Chains A and B, each alone.
Chain A
Amino acid sequence: MANTAIVADESTDHLWDGGVTPMKVSYGKLMMWFFLLSDAFTFSALLITYGMIRYSHPAYEGAIQDFAFSQEYWPIPEMVFEAVPFLHGIHAPLVFVGIMTFILILSSVTMVLAVEAGHRMDKKGVEKWMLWTLVGGALFLGCQAWEWSHFIDGSDISNNVGSNTFMGANLSFNQYGPPNFAALFFFITGFHGFHVFSGVMLNFIIFYQTVTGKLERVGHYEMVEKVGLYWHFVDLVWVFVFTFFYLV
């Protein structure tokens, strides 16, 4: 803590135009917090909508071994998300989404380390950890692309929708359950994936500005902190999406 205090106290950059610092944070950081608060409302609304729509459909009642996809009831998530790349036909519930969760948590950790290096004006450290954060974000996006394409194409098990046999999912029908199940999957994980994508873009800009020495010339690495807040928020949202979409 003592180290960071030196950097923060000597600089007057964090003073607002009125010459004071409300809540002892810079203007940019406070606005990032308020933006994240509004974004938290958006994601809460989406997840609560998921809860409401799920509640308004019948739940599957019976032994989990006998579970089969049907339009009549809401599917059990671990029976839908059970595929892993290169392991075709093997029932591995939630394994792939677990890997995605760990990737995102790890990239959040490397982001904290980048912010920490920024406090110490350690350019090399910021470069290294920002690069790892970028790798984590890109890996997560790749995983999500695979997950989506598998969800859309379907597996070997097709299902009867009305009088037709249907495989995979689109916005009108899906083999897994009621139409709203796929619609909510696309909307919620898609909106989160878009946040991850913008996060990777922002991280790249910061990484670039670090490498070219721009942030060092500015005299502090506060941009790393601000973008870091956004990146942690994306991780935070995934923690909730993971629980409410995949576990519960």
Chain B
Amino acid sequence: MEHQKNQVQVIPADPAKIKKIWKVAGILAAITAVEFVIAFTVPSSGARNFVFIALTLWKAFYIVSEFMHLGHERKSLIMSIMLPLLFVIFFIFIMMYQGARIFEALY
């Protein structure tokens, strides 16, 4: 690359790619807006929380897959990152159980 020092070639932007980026941004903004509408109109309940968590995971998918480009990497890399997160799911269940037992012991 040394020989290019004084004349770096700028490749022109691909409009389709830029459009895709803004489309993902639009989806993220729209999901957040929906979360707000739900927060203001629907009374708190277990079902509402479930919807919130589903929407959050949906947003997380777009950020990780598109913005962080993980969706376009090798499958081995995707698995190396995603599989260890199964421990988190396990951890959620044991700690929620623990919290409920502490509540029982205290109240």
On A, residues with C-beta under 8 Å from B are 1, 3, 6-7, 11, 23-25, 30, 33-34, 36-37, 40-41, 44-45, 48-49, 51-58, 64, 76, 78, 93-94, 98, 101-102, 105-106, 108-109, 111-113, 116-117, 119-123, 125, 216-220, 228-229, 232-233, 235-236, 239-240, 242-243, 247-248
User: Please, which residues of chain B bring their CB within 8 A of the CB of A7?
Assistant: 11
* B interface residue count range (under 10 / 10 to 19 / 20 to 34 / 35 or more): 35 or more
* Given A33-B77, A113-B21, A248-B49: A108 touches B56 (CB 8 Å cut-off): no
The one of A48, A109, A116, A228 that contacts B17, using a Cβ cutoff of 8 Å: A116
Tell me if B100 counts as interface (CB < 8 A to partner A): yes
* B interface list, Cβ under 8 A from A: 1-2, 4-5, 8-14, 17-18, 21-22, 24-25, 28-29, 32, 35-36, 39-40, 43-44, 49, 52-53, 55-56, 59-60, 63-64, 66-68, 73-74, 76-77, 80-81, 84-85, 87-88, 91-92, 95-96, 98-100, 102-103, 106-107
- Residues of chain A within 8 A (CB-CB) of B98 are 52
Q: Is the CB of B73 within 8 A of A23?
A: yes
Question: In the complex, which residues of chain B have a beta carbon less than 8 angstroms from the beta carbon of A55?
Answer: 96, 99-100, 102-103
Please name all residues of chain A whose beta carbon is closer than 8 Å to the beta carbon of B102 when the two chains form the complex: 52, 55-56
Name 10 extra pairs, CB < 8 A, besides A64-B44, A116-B18, A243-B55.
Answer: A25-B74, A44-B91, A48-B88, A56-B103, A93-B39, A105-B28, A109-B67, A119-B11, A122-B10, A220-B1
A121 and B84 in contact (CB under 8 A), knowing A113-B21, A235-B63? no
Which residues on B sit within 8 Å (CB–CB) of A105? 25, 28-29, 32
Q: Is the interface of A mostly helix, strand, loop or mixed?
A: helix
Distance in angstroms from A231 CB to nearest chain B CB is 9
A-B contact pairs, 24 of them (CB 8 A): A23-B80, A34-B80, A36-B81, A53-B99, A55-B99, A56-B106, A93-B39, A94-B39, A101-B32, A105-B28, A112-B21, A116-B13, A119-B11, A120-B12, A120-B13, A121-B8, A123-B10, A228-B68, A232-B64, A233-B68, A239-B56, A243-B35, A243-B55, A247-B39
- Determine whether the beta carbon of B88 is less than 8 Å from that of A44: yes
CA distance A64 to B21 in the complex (A): 40
**Knowing A23-B73, A101-B32 touch, does A116 contact B21 (C-beta < 8 A)?**
yes
* Assembled-state Cα–Cα distance A78/B41 (Å): 13
Interface centre among A30, A58, A111, A243 (most CB of B within 10 A): A243
Known pairs A40-B85, A248-B52; A229 contacts B21 (CB<8 A): no
